[in-house]
C-alpha cells in the first residue's frame, strides 16, 4: 500500500503578524516544516505549532533560513560554509528544544527560500552531519 506525505511550511507568523493559517493547515498535513525566527516565526509561534503537531500526530521538521526577516529569507546572502553551518545548527537547536519538551523528535530538515535554492551541493552536506543532527532518525529532504 502506498501513502503520501502531505507537507507544509508552518510557523511563519511573527508577533502580531499572522501568516499561513497554521490552525487550518495542521488538520490536513502529515509533516510540518517549522520556521524558528530567522526568516519568519518566533518562540510563541514555534511552541503553538509543535503543540498542535503533537496533538494531531503530525511529524515536525526543521525549516532553517537565512537571517533575513525583512526579506522573508528569500534574499541571496554571501555567507561562508561555517556561517551557514552555525546558522543551521542554531536554528535546529532552538526547534529541538520545543520538540523535546513535547516528547517529539525532529524528522527532517527542509531549508527555506534562498538557503534551499542557492546552496551549492557541497554545502548540503551540513544537514546530515552529527553536529547539526538531533536524532539518528532525522532524514534530509
Spans of all domains in the chain: 1-68+97-110+130-141
Rounded mean pLDDT for each run of 10 residues along the chain, 141 residues in total: 90 84 96 86 92 98 84 78 87 94 93 74 54 42 39
> How far is residue 101's CA from residue 67's CA, in Å, rounded to a whole number?
25
pLDDT of residue 60: 96
Tell me whether strands 7-10 and 139-140 are parallel, antiparallel or unpaired: unpaired
Q: Which residues contact 41 (CB under 8 A, 6 or more apart)?
A: 11, 12, 13, 14, 34, 35
pLDDT of residue 122: 55
pLDDT of residue 133: 41
pLDDT of residue 93: 92
CATH class of 1-68+97-110+130-141: alpha beta
CB 63 within 8 Å of CB 33: yes
pTM of full prediction above 0.75: yes
Amino acid at each position: 500500500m502506498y501513502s503520501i506525505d502531505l507537507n507544509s511550511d508552518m510557523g511563519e507568523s511573527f508577533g502580531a503578524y499572522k501568516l499561513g493559517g497554521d490552525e487550518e493547515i495542521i488538520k490536513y498535513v502529515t509533516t510540518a516544516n517549522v520556521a524558528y525566527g530567522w526568516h519568519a516565526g518566533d518562540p510563541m509561534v514555534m511552541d503553538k505549532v509543535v503543540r498542535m503537531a503533537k496533538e494531531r500526530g503530525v511529524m515536525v521538521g526543521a525549516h532553517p533560513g537565512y537571517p533575513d526577516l525583512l526579506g522573508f529569507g528569500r534574499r541571496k546572502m554571501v555567507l561562508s560554509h561555517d556561517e551557514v553551518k552555525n546558522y543551521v545548527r542554531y536554528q535546529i537547536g532552538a526547534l529541538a528544544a520545543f520538540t523535546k519538551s513535547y516528547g517529539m523528535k525532529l524528522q527532517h530538515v527542509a531549508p527555506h527560500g534562498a538557503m534551499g535554492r542557492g546552496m551549492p551541493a557541497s554545502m548540503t552536506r551540513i544537514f546530515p552531519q552529527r553536529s547539526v543532527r538531533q536524532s539518528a532518525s532525522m532524514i534530509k529532504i
